[in-house]
């Protein structure tokens, strides 16, 4: 099951050791020689693993592609929402102020008790988290088909038919993102779902991933930039409420520090690695953004978001820069496997 005792094996270091074992097994099973080179590919957290295994086991891995990979662990990842706000501003200069005012109007309404909730109620924070996630999904997966991307979100926020106030338009926008469904903003219900240890209940991996954030990475996407309604304490409380009182603030901070010390944060020992990020990706502040050497190249692809370089090429929409980055990546891989 997914008990805390069992999930203690759910760590990035364990995943890397499993990959090492897998490589050894495949080499033996298919009688591969040292001339059969291994190159790792990954995007987002798998991109972090791709980079880390090359860093720790360069004798096994000839090279790595690491797309949109966070490598600096951080408890309060306040930059995430800041990048979302920048995305809104770039797409529509009037969009960001409208969203910000919508949040402030909602916060004021809740603070005054007009909707029957207390200001510090965790249900209120859960509601705000759901609203922030609507914009986070639009920014993070901006280029994906079927996503209410930033352009669409801003269009909704400018649509006067959606309401007279920015709060009303914010509500309608979020309603569209979630398919017209009502949001369950009950903190206890959320915690109860996350406490479920049955494998059948873990198909969305939420319990497992949040455990890793408590145990290794942090990366709590606070909304400090938009207001005081989603502080880091809200996320730290989840660690304790779901996994146990041993996850104190101090323990979580130590876990995050230990991850940075083990992997080297943004300055790991590294070679033969291509690192890519999208300028619109809210995750990119936690990644390596500059070349580390002639063999470790970093690219920020303008106008793209999370892991976009790993998508199928499209000559009609791909920028010249994106096409060049893919070409450069391929040339490096050819050199690695010679």
Identify whether 322 is part of a domain: no
Q: Judge if 15 and 54 occupy the same domain.
A: yes
Q: Judge if 204 and 228 occupy the same domain.
A: yes
CA torsion angle for 13, 17, 22, 28 (degrees, to 10)? 160
> How confident is the model at residue 124, as a pLDDT?
87
Identify whether 326 is part of a domain: no
* Per-residue tokens: 302: 């303008």
> How confident is the model at residue 119, as a pLDDT?
53
> How confident is the model at residue 17, as a pLDDT?
98
> How confident is the model at residue 200, as a pLDDT?
77
* Per-residue tokens: 108: 């004021």
Task: Among 240, 257, 274, give the residue marking a domain's end.
Answer: 257
Q: Judge if 110 and 219 occupy the same domain.
A: yes
Secondary structure (H, E, C), the chain: CCCHHHHCCCCHHHHHHHHHHHHHHHHHHCCCCCCCCCEEEEECHHHHHHHHHHHHCCCCCCEEEEECCCCCCEEECCHHHHHHHHHHHHHCCCHHHHHHHHHHHHHHHHHCCCCCCCCCCHHHHHHHHHHHHHHHHHHHCCCCCCCCCHHHHHHHHHCHHHCCCHHHHHHHHHHHHCCCCCCCCCHHHHHHHHHCCCHHHCCCCHHHHHHHHHHHHEEECCCCCCCCCCCHHHHHHHHHHHHCCCCCHHHHHHHHHHHHHHHCCCCCCCCCEEEEEECCCCCHHHCCCCCCECCEEEEEECCCCCCHHHCCCCCCCCCHHHHHHHHHHHHHHHHHCC
Tens digit of each residue's pLDDT, the chain (338 residues): 899 999 999 999 999 999 999 999 999 999 999 899 999 999 999 999 999 999 999 999 999 999 999 999 999 999 999 999 999 999 899 999 999 999 999 888 887 766 666 555 899 899 999 999 999 999 998 765 455 789 999 999 999 999 999 999 999 999 999 988 888 888 999 999 999 998 877 656 889 999 999 999 999 999 877 877 899 999 999 999 999 999 999 999 999 999 999 999 999 999 999 999 999 999 999 999 999 999 999 999 999 999 999 999 999 989 999 999 999 999 999 999 99
Identify whether 327 is part of a domain: no
Identify whether 334 is part of a domain: no
Q: CATH no. for residue 27?
A: 3.40.50.1820
d(CA 43, CA 259): 19
> How confident is the model at residue 34, as a pLDDT?
87
Q: Judge if 61 and 82 occupy the same domain.
A: no
Residue 180 domain boundaries: 75-257
Q: Judge if 145 and 182 occupy the same domain.
A: yes
> How confident is the model at residue 68, as a pLDDT?
98
């Amino acid at each position: 099951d997914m008990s805390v005792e069992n999930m203690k094996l759910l760590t990035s270091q364990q995943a890397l050791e499993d990959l090492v074992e897998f490589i050894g097994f495949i080499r033996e099973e298919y009688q591969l020689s040292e001339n059969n080179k291994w190159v790792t590919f990954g995007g987002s957290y798998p991109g972090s693993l791709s980079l880390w295994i090359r860093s720790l086991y360069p004798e096994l891995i000839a090279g790595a592609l690491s797309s949109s990979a966070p490598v600096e662990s951080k408890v309060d990842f306040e930059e995430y929402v800041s990048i979302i706000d920048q995305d809104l501003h770039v797409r529509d200069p009037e969009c960001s102020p409208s969203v910000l005012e919508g949040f402030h109007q909602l916060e004021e309404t809740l603070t005054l008790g007009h909707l029957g909730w207390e200001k510090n109620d965790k249900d209120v924070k859960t509601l705000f988290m759901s609203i922030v996630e609507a914009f986070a999904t639009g920014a993070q997966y901006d280029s994906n088909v079927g996503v209410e991307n930033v352009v669409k979100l801003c269009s909704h926020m400018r649509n006067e038919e959606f309401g007279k106030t920015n709060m009303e338009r914010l509500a309608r926008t979020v309603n569209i993102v979630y398919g017209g469904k009502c949001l369950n903003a009950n903190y206890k219900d959320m915690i109860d779902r996350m406490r479920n240890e049955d494998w059948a209940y873990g198909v969305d991996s939420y319990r497992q991933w949040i455990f890793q954030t408590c145990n290794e990475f942090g990366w709590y996407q606070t909304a400090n930039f938009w207001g005081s309604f989603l502080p880091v304490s809200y996320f730290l409380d989840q660690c304790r409420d779901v996994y146990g009182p041993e996850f104190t603030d101090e323990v979580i901070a130590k876990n995050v520090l230990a991850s940075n010390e083990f992997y080297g944060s943004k300055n790991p020992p590294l070679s033969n690695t291509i690192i890519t990020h999208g300028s619109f990706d809210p995750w990119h502040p936690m990644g390596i953004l500059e070349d580390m050497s002639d063999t470790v190249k970093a690219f920020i692809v303008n106008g793209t978001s999370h892991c976009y370089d790993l998508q199928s090429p499209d000559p009609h929409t791909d920028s010249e820069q994106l096409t060049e980055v893919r070409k450069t990546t391929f040339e490096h891989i050819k050199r690695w496997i010679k």
